[in-house]
Amino acid sequence: KFYSLSRYTKCFLFFNFFVGITLFGFFYTTKQLVLLMTPRPCHAKTNVMFLKTHKTASSTVLNILFRFTEKHNLTIALPADQRFHLGYPERFNTSFVEKLQNKMQNYNIMGNHLRFNPSEVHKVMAGDTFYFSILRNPIFLLESSYVYYKNMVPAFNRSKDVNEYLASPLKYYREEDYKKNIYAKNIMWFDFGYDNNAEDNKNYTQEVLKDIEQNFHLILIADYFDESMILLKHTLCWDLDDVIYFKLNSRSNDTVQTLTAESRERIKTWCSLDWNLYLHFNQSFWRRIEETIGLEELEKEVNHLRMRQKELMETCLLGQEAVVKTRIKDKTFLPFQSGDANILGYNIRPDLSNKTLKNCQKIITPELQYMSYLYSRQHPHKKRKPLHRALPWNSSLEKTQVPRQN
């Protein structure tokens, strides 16, 4: 009885079947259209090279890259043997990088100090690597450089203060000290691999700017650091937490020298190559923001970033702010000190759970310590970097990371 359906019912079912197919097809097509119309979900970029420039908040960026490297189990190109830099101030070549045991493999990340040299850098990075760097207004950069490198750079050492130096730089800046004086004139130009003593003529400058645009996908601006982090996050398809930071390697306010109005103007001509570089990429930075994120969304996201940063500072820090070197309790986290600058650091709250503690420690770890730690994890068979104090998470029990294939 059950099987003997009336002819009418059979027809009805048949009809339904076809309507079903058609409707299904319709919805299917609609779904495809909707999928096509919504922006494709992006994939976090994991092959990234950062040209670390000097005195540009680049240590803070490097900490972000170090944490990202660990989060995704990536490989990172680190200085070979006992070195702390990738051959700087020599032009980069591949011999400055510690080799992986599997020599055929490229690195995912590179960000320690090096003098840019595209053909050699390309040899250690994957073909689809994202290249970025950061610039800072040369006026503030030169003052910072002066204080930080005061005792190391002959041009600075010979003058009383930054204003005296700028009043007549040629009195202090001598050709024969060229290599030691790189921090005293157009240091960003030098870091990008060009001649910081070159004559500033329009053709040459335009040529170099074009070159940099070809070699780098993005140039951030330290004077707009939070905006830079949001643009970086968007461009690389990273999470907000990937670009949350605590300022690293900053100095106490009392070591900042006040530039006179004349000095500020003089920097624009004394460091005219850097000044042109900065003006050019400051413009393209803001153009990029308008074309991709828009100013309104940018403001919203910058506020999110600051809220999240504040929240993390409350979670992690005693006193919720950076402190001068003498007030850093755990000397393991004491940043490298230099010149007349008093480089600030942080104190972690003592009452944190293990996991929170570790995350908090990583975000405040100065670059030399963090680099040495990554080095000993990635190259367990090599002699460790000569650092005096071991980081707390350097336990031999911790799993050695398995380098990922590119």
Ligand X SMILES: *[C@@H]1O[C@H](CO)[C@@H](O)[C@H](O)[C@H]1NC(C)=O
- Closer to ligand X at the Cβ: 100 or 387? 387
| Cα 229 from Cα 134, distance rounded (Å) | 11
Q: Shortest gap between Cβ of 216 and ligand X (angstroms)?
A: 18
- Closer to ligand X at the Cβ: 34 or 332? 332
Q: Are 177 and 154 in contact (CB under 8 A)?
A: yes
Q: Shortest gap between Cβ of 81 and ligand X (angstroms)?
A: 13
Question: Which sign, positive or negative, has the C-alpha torsion 372, 306, 109, 72?
Answer: positive
| Cα 369 from Cα 164, distance rounded (Å) | 36
- Closer to ligand X at the Cβ: 39 or 176? 176
Q: Are 402 and 378 in contact (CB under 8 A)?
A: no
Q: Are 329 and 210 in contact (CB under 8 A)?
A: no
- CA max distance for the chain: 111
| Cα 115 from Cα 89, distance rounded (Å) | 6
Q: Where are the alpha helices (DSSP H) in 38-153?
A: 58-71, 118-124, 138-148
- Closer to ligand X at the Cβ: 33 or 42? 42
List of long-range contacts for 84-88, beta carbons under 8 Å, 24+ apart:
84/112, 84/368, 84/371, 84/385, 85/112, 85/113, 85/114, 86/110, 86/112, 86/113, 86/114, 87/114, 87/115, 88/113, 88/114, 88/115
- Closer to ligand X at the Cβ: 126 or 279? 279
Which residues make up the interface to ligand X (CB under 6 A)? Answer: 72-73, 90, 93, 95, 137, 151-152, 154, 157, 201, 203, 253, 279, 282, 286, 354, 376, 384, 387, 390, 394, 396, 399, 402
Q: Shortest gap between Cβ of 37 and ligand X (angstroms)?
A: 31
Q: Shortest gap between Cβ of 282 and ligand X (angstroms)?
A: 4
- Closer to ligand X at the Cβ: 303 or 400? 400
- Closer to ligand X at the Cβ: 9 or 151? 151
Q: Shortest gap between Cβ of 373 and ligand X (angstroms)?
A: 7
Q: Are 138 and 274 in contact (CB under 8 A)?
A: yes
Residue burial 278-313, b: 16+ Cβ < 10 Å; e: rest: bebbbeebbebbeeebeeeebeebbeebeeebeebb
> Which of 182, 324, 348, 188 has its CA nearest to residue 250?
324
Nearest residue by C-beta to ligand X?
A: 390
Omega before residue 89 within 30° of 0, cis: yes
366: amino acid identity, one letter: P
Q: Shortest gap between Cβ of 392 and ligand X (angstroms)?
A: 8
Q: Shortest gap between Cβ of 14 and ligand X (angstroms)?
A: 52
- Closer to ligand X at the Cβ: 29 or 291? 291
- Closer to ligand X at the Cβ: 10 or 358? 358
Q: Shortest gap between Cβ of 387 and ligand X (angstroms)?
A: 6
Q: Shortest gap between Cβ of 41 and ligand X (angstroms)?
A: 17
String of DSSP letters for 138-153: HHHHHHHHHHHTTTT-
